[in-house]
Amino acid sequence: MTKPLSGLPFTKMTGSGNDFVFFDGREVPLDVVTEPEAIRRICNRYNGIGSDGLVVLEPASGGADVVIHFYNQDGTAADLCGNATLCSTALSAQLGMASADGMRLTTGAGLITSRLSGPAGQGILPEIDFQPVTDIRPESAIEPEAGEQRIGFVIAGIPHLVILCDDAEAVDVAGRGPLLRWHTAAGPTGANVNWVSRLADGRWRYRTFERGVEGETLACGTGAVATATLLASWGQVTSDTVPIVTSSGRVLEVQLRPLGSDTGSAGVKPTLRGEGRVVFRGVTGDL
């Protein structure tokens, strides 16, 4: 008989439909909620709270403000989740763990700087600066299928395949996703898989099959960064800011700045801006 996960305060958040259960590590010990079985019970959409992933925020040391511990719905840990980091930025400011004007977040993919920002009258949103993306492969060994134009690979915190296609809405994500997620070109741990196509208004529509969830999610922050990075590499975008329309209808904005010659390497320094919204707060019952 498993022990009930009862009496634990939590916050449910969404980043463009990519949803997470958050715990404040100052109130809930990390080891209580991060056992794989506990994560699966909490994230279960029928018998638990329900989410794509679970996050524990803890105070950091050594010059950072907050440590982000991120876990996928299936109980596996991941180095980075873009939307969870957007949500972490908003929640860390709300909880008084860091300044809304600027914070330093420790993740498995390195140190992330972030802030809450936005033009006057247009809403304040979290914005995060990724570590430089240098592992960019515009062409992979995967043969495109009908309706797919080209397939590239990039590591944007975690591995991603990106497929430029005729119509992202028409893609059989559930059918093709698992095959590509574990393709040898996706690396030993597999990769998220993103399909992207241009909309009539010039923006880009993408859909993601996400590892750890093992299905399509409504949004993927690292996927948006990976998608924008490869679109730029393919010469598909002319602006340094790329608007990506998620399956929830909300927009993630990716700004790409080229690495300067002083870094000694090719690549981009991405910034991701998007939703990080509290949906509700509560206390667990007997999960």
The Cα 98–Cα 236 span in angstroms is 37
Query: Is residue 1 one of the residues assigned to a domain?
Result: no
Residue-level pLDDT at 264: 53
Query: Is residue 27 one of the residues assigned to a domain?
Result: yes
Angle at 81 between CA 147 and CA 58, to 5 degrees: 175
The number of folded domains in the chain is 2
Tens of pLDDT, residue by residue over 67-95, are: 999 999 999 999 999 999 999 999 999 99
Same domain for 182 and 216, yes or no, is: yes
Query: Is residue 219 one of the residues assigned to a domain?
Result: yes
Tens of pLDDT, residue by residue over 120-139, are: 556 789 999 999 998 999 99
The Cα 86–Cα 91 span in angstroms is 9
Q: Distances from the Cα of 171 to the Cαs of 165, 196, 223, in angstroms? A: 9, 10, 16
Residue 181 in tokens = 């997620």
Residue-level pLDDT at 62: 85
The answer to whether 56 and 88 are in contact (CB under 8 A) is no
The Cα 82–Cα 18 span in angstroms is 10
Going through 38-147 in order, the beta strands assigned E by DSSP cover 53-59, 66-72, 103-107, 110-117, 125-129, 136-137
Q: Which residues of the chain have pLDDT under 50?
A: 1
For the entire predicted model, the pTM comes to 0.94
Residue 200 in tokens = 């009539």
Residue-level pLDDT at 135: 92
Q: For the beta carbon of residue 152, count every other beta carbon within 10 angstroms.
A: 23
Q: Distances from the Cα of 253 to the Cαs of 36, 126, 271, in angstroms? A: 32, 11, 8
Q: Which domain holds residue 151?
A: 136-273
Q: For the beta carbon of residue 156, count every other beta carbon within 10 angstroms.
A: 31
Chain-centre distance of CA 240, in angstroms? 20
Residue-level pLDDT at 61: 87
Q: Helices then strands (H, E): number in the chain? A: 5, 17
CATH number of the domain at 246, please. 3.10.310.10
Query: Is residue 54 one of the residues assigned to a domain?
Result: yes
Active site residues: 81, 220
Residue-level pLDDT at 1: 41
Residue with tokens 């559930």: 174
Query: Is residue 2 one of the residues assigned to a domain?
Result: no
Please provide the size of the chain in residues.
Answer: 287
158 bridge partner residues: 156
